[in-house]
């Protein structure tokens, strides 16, 4: 069962429809038990980091989401990606889930620099140093069977993605904050001279700053690849 976490951070309709287009009827849930029971977890979100963290706490979802991100196929999208990092500059600073190391910063306020970044931008897929540091599915418990049946997760974490998506492949972005480039950065985007993490991977944790559910055919390709990892 694929669970989409509903924590009051924006609209999940598009995410649900995109998974349906990939043949998966995902369960939209705010129940920590459903998240614990899920095989795969999708963590979307738009809005502000601070209120998102408050919502997660009020709903009792912090530990369930963190555990899922560390142990099973997990897909963070937009704000759901940003709050996987340790800290965000949003609203004067907020501690976030800390599943991935690094900071989330605001785009600079400058003349001619439009914020939010809104539209289609290229993602340059790069190597995965985090994988080489020994982070990966082998540390997890209770999923041995799935790992054995999914060698591509272990052997070629992003090679298929990188081969399908050319440097000219654009995805749809809408955001005012961005994650710095770090050890798990697997895709880089340049917005008006600022390079940031468009895509991060740590084992079976995938995190997109862009919206795969709204990125046309290439977005569905990415979702299908995540579903098969």
Partner 1 sequence: MLTKRVIPCLDVRNGRVTKGVKFKNNVDLGDPVEMAVKYSEGGADELVFYDITASAEGRPIDIGMVAAVAKAVRIPFAVGGGIRTVEDMERVILAGAEKISVNSLAVKDPAIIAAGARAFGAQCVVLGMDPVKSPRCPSGYEITTRGFREFTGMDAVEWAKRAADLGAGEIVVNSVDADGTRAGFELTVTRLVAEAVGVPVVASGGAGTPEHLVTVFREAKADAAIVAGMIHTGDYTIAEIKSVMAQRGVPTRLSF
Contacting range for partner 1; rule: CB under 8 A; set: 90-98, 140-148, 185-193, 195-203: 185-193
Selected binder of partner 1 within 34, 120, 182, 227 (CB under 8 A): 120
Size of the site for partner 1 (CB under 8 A): 43
Least spacing, CB of residue 119 vs partner 1, in Å: 5
Element (H, E) at 19: helix 13-21
Catalytic residue among 78, 90, 131, 225: 78
Residue 143 a catalytic site member:
no
Parallel, antiparallel or unpaired: strands 27-29 and 2-5: parallel
- Dist CA 150 CA 18 (whole Å): 23
Nearest to 194 by CA among 185, 183, 181, 207: 181
Residue 211 a catalytic site member:
yes
Contacting range for partner 1; rule: CB under 8 A; set: 14-22, 34-42, 145-153, 199-207: 14-22
Q: Is residue 91 at the binding interface for partner 1, with CB under 8 A as the rule?
A: no
Q: Is residue 6 at the binding interface for partner 1, with CB under 8 A as the rule?
A: no
Residues near 156 by Cβ (< 8 Å), separated by ≥ 6? none
- Dist CA 225 CA 229 (whole Å): 6
Element (H, E) at 56: helix 49-58
Which residues are annotated as catalytic?
A: 78, 211, 213
Residues forming contacts to partner 1 in the complex (CB under 8 A) are 10-11, 13-14, 17-18, 20-21, 46-48, 109, 113-122, 166, 168-170, 172-176, 190-192, 211, 213-220
């Amino acid at each position: 069962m694929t669970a989409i976490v509903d924590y009051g951070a924006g609209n999940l309709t598009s995410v649900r429809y995109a998974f349906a287009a990939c043949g998966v009827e995902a369960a939209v849930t705010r129940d920590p038990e459903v998240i614990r029971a899920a095989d795969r977890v999708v963590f979307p979100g738009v809005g502000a980091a601070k209120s998102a963290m408050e919502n997660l706490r009020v709903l009792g979802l912090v530990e369930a989401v963190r555990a899922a991100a560390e142990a099973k196929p997990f897909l963070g999208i937009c704000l759901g990606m940003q709050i996987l990092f340790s800290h965000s500059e949003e609203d004067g600073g907020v501690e976030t889930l800390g599943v991935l190391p690094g900071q989330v910063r605001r785009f600079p306020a400058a003349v001619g620099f439009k914020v939010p970044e809104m539209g289609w931008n290229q993602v340059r897929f790069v190597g995965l140093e985090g994988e080489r540091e020994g982070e990966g599915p082998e540390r997890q418990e209770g999923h041995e069977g799935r790992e054995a049946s999914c060698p591509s997760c272990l052997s070629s974490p992003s090679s298929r993605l990188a081969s399908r998506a050319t440097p000219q492949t654009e995805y749809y972005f809408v955001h005012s904050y961005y994650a710095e480039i770090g050890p798990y950065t697997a895709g880089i985007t340049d917005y008006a001279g600022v390079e940031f993490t468009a895509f991060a991977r740590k084992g079976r944790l995938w995190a997109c700053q862009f919206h795969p559910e709204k990125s046309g055919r290439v977005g569905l390709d990415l979702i299908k690849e995540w579903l098969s990892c």
